[in-house]
Chains A and B, each alone.
Chain A
Amino acid sequence: MALLEVTGLKVNFDTPEGGVQAVNGLDFSVHAGESLAIVGESGAGKSQAVMAIMGLLAENGSASGKAEFNGQDLMLMSRKELNKIRGCEIAMIFQDPMTSLNPFLTIEKQMVEVIRQHQNLRRDEARAHAVEMLRAVRIPAPEERVKQYPHEFSGGMRQRVMIAMGLLCEPGLLIADEPTTALDVTVQAQITQLVGELREKSNMSLILITHDLAVVAEICDRILVMYAGQLVETGSSEDIFYRPQHPYTQGLLASVPRMDQPVDDELHSIPGNPPNLLDLGSGCHFRERCNKAMDVCKDDPPLQVAQDGRMSRCFIDMANGEMVAGSTDSGEDSAEFAE
């Protein structure tokens, strides 16, 4: 059984310009010890999907659907019940570590507070545990550092502190929302490796949210690609990187600049801009930017599901690269889809 099973998740926001459907019917699951990456552009709904699961939506947001964690539906829980799980069984780290830490309190105070909220430990025991966690995320001289304030840490060190805080109660699931986006590339590599190693050591599950596919190549088992609030493709990490099916995934991969390849004249890019969520309309939301778009894409594309759990929301057949049977395309340019 999956540790987290999300079905039919929808997230709506009321805005002065009208309703926005940030997440539109998302299904996914994470098994114990597994790591899942959720990838997509700004506005794809990846952050809001996990915020909804954690009960952290902004005031104008509302969510529906099911999110079963160990068989209990998080969406039906009261705030009190959620508070027992959040920060304990499910931990979350955010993009900007500075805004997630309280600038007025020492790291020790903040960590001890988390421990004593969830565990029945004496203060000195909690303190020792905090130091131990800082050591686990490889902060040098943790006994001294724990007494310092957030501003005394560099960006990378702050993110280590956030990870240490997230791991205090040995969570079954860690959700990391763009944990390295605000960091330098050298530090990004260190933090990504750290998260990967800690996960393997503790058999914790991980959901990693990012806009950059390259970051997750090494540490994620499965990848879910989102576009305009929907799943467009999911599969094992190897499938997504070596055999991407959906034109959007292919475009995302091609637009990553490669250091291990000679310089081309022009970088591949996905043309156009992410769609306006206020005015989505029907049909495939990606069709205006898609290099394989055809007439039939004005209709909603089918979600194809293969036996191994691989999915693609596209009229191009996952199995043979041809049109999905039963679709009524004029067929004028389907020849070029054969690979």
Chain B
Amino acid sequence: MTAPVLRVQDLAVNFTSYTGGLLQRKERVLKAVNGISFDLNAGESLGIVGETGSGKSTLARAILGLIKPNRGRVMWEGEDLTQLDEEALRQKRKEIQIVFQDPVASLDPRMTAGDIISEPLWTFYPNMAPLQVEERARGMMKMVGLLQNQINRYPHEFSGGQCQRIGIARSLVLNPRLVICDEPVSALDVSIQAQIINLLQDLQNKLGLALIFIAHDLSLVKHISDRIMVMYMGSSMELSERDALYRSPLHPYTNALIKSVPIPDPKLAAQARQDSWLTGDMPSPYDPPRGCVFNTRCPYKVSRCEADVPALRRMEHGDWVACHRAEDLDLSIRLDSDSGIS
């Protein structure tokens, strides 16, 4: 087995804010990412899933060096990105790219599709011949399923799905080895979401990319991930192989996320309602619960969960979970593949 290309170790990001007046200034610390560790192999895809506020986007930004972490290391091919100076880090971005959530807002409305896609080339290879740049941009457009004659069009002339294709083309133009997709399809229609996911999967296979795919629910990462990490309030709750995670989740929160995905089938949906149980909201991140952060919403809570923070630990079959009761809970999901729509 080859060494992982990316190794994140105990990464933590805190945001500090101040409340109160000038004289009674109080500092509040929000632990957005609280000690996350994982490895990513070349060509592997990792899904990161969690509700709003679970810290998944902050984690992505910290990996890219867009936010300085308070603790921990981001090892990229043996080199710690958090220790690099700005220019060295900038050079590394050739290898690590990002695709953003809002495809329209992340494109400059005054640049044409061709300019947007080729901008990274101008930035990193200022001496490249213009014809060569244009050829490369055209090649990228073709690769992501855009038409060559759209190269001089502006973002507003494209639909949301097409704008996301431009965003993907831009992220791939430098031949990166890792692409971080931060909720790339949340803003798109259901029918278009599937197109973009298939495109990303296809490109990943073709180019041998490593992929981190961030999403707020488990339905979309199912198709694109080899492994999935579930985050809650800045901590990793579970890190499992894809098939194992959907068949028998280890953490009650993973189970809740699986069960809250709506099923397009009236009878099954009515059934699923019977055993969906996740109530309430995420607690305030300024005042996280003692012990396990999920204990306020967990139906399997025992007294220990309010006292000790469960460590992320490795189970027998190799998957990781942070739950005191992982051994004695059976959260297996019954697959109902016979019913439904053909």
Contact = CB atoms under 8 A, between A and B. Distances in A.
A257 B222 contact: yes
Contact of A241 (B191, B223, B264): B264
Given A184-B52, A212-B190, A256 B337 contact: no
Query: What is the interface of chain A mostly: helix, strand, loop, or mixed?
Result: loop
Interface stretch (A84-92, A269-277, A294-302): A269-277
A188 B269 contact: no
A260 B263 contact: yes
Contacts of A262: 335, 337
B190 A263 contact: no
A213 B257 contact: no
B159 A273 contact: yes
Contacts of B264: 213-214, 217, 241, 253, 256, 258
Contact of A185 (B191, B257, B279): B257
Contact of A255 (B193, B243, B270): B193
A251 B335 contact: no
B3 interface: no
Interface string B47-74: 0000110000000000000000000000
Interface in B248-266: 256-258, 260-266
Contacts of B273: 193, 218
B113 interface: no
B105 to A, nearest CB: 15
A193 B276 CA distance: 11
Interface residues of B, number: 51
B230 to A, nearest CB: 12
B241 to A, nearest CB: 12
Given A185-B217, A238-B266, A267-B194, A253 B246 contact: no
Contacts of B279: 190
B162 interface: yes
A156 interface: yes
Contact of B262 (A217, A242, A269): A217
Given A186-B51, A214-B262, A260 B335 contact: yes
A233 B276 CA distance: 31
A264 interface: yes
B340 interface: yes
B184 interface: no
Contacts of B258: 259
Please indicate which of the listed interface residues A185, A214, A266 has the most CB atoms of chain B within 10 Å of its own CB. A185
Contact of A268 (B192, B194, B243, B246): B194
A192 B262 contact: yes
B265 to A, nearest CB: 6
Contact of A267 (B161, B197, B269, B337): B197
Contacts of A157: 281
B1 to A, nearest CB: 23
Interface in B196-219: 197-198, 201, 216-219
B5 to A, nearest CB: 24
A278 B160 CA distance: 17
Contacts of A211: 189-190
13 contacts: A41-B189, A185-B216, A217-B266, A237-B266, A238-B266, A257-B194, A260-B336, A260-B337, A261-B335, A263-B222, A263-B243, A267-B194, A274-B189
Interface of A: 41-42, 154-157, 184-190, 192-193, 211-215, 217-218, 237-238, 241-242, 244, 251-264, 266-271, 273-274
Interface of B: 51-52, 159-162, 189-195, 197-198, 201, 216-220, 222-223, 242-243, 246, 256-258, 260-266, 268-270, 273, 276, 278-279, 281-282, 333, 335-337, 340-341
Given A185-B261, A242-B265, A274-B189, 6 more contacts: A214-B261, A214-B264, A260-B265, A260-B340, A262-B335, A266-B198
User: What are the 7 tightest A-B residue pairs by CB atom distance, in nearest-first order?
Assistant: A269-B194, A185-B217, A214-B262, A218-B269, A214-B264, A257-B219, A270-B191
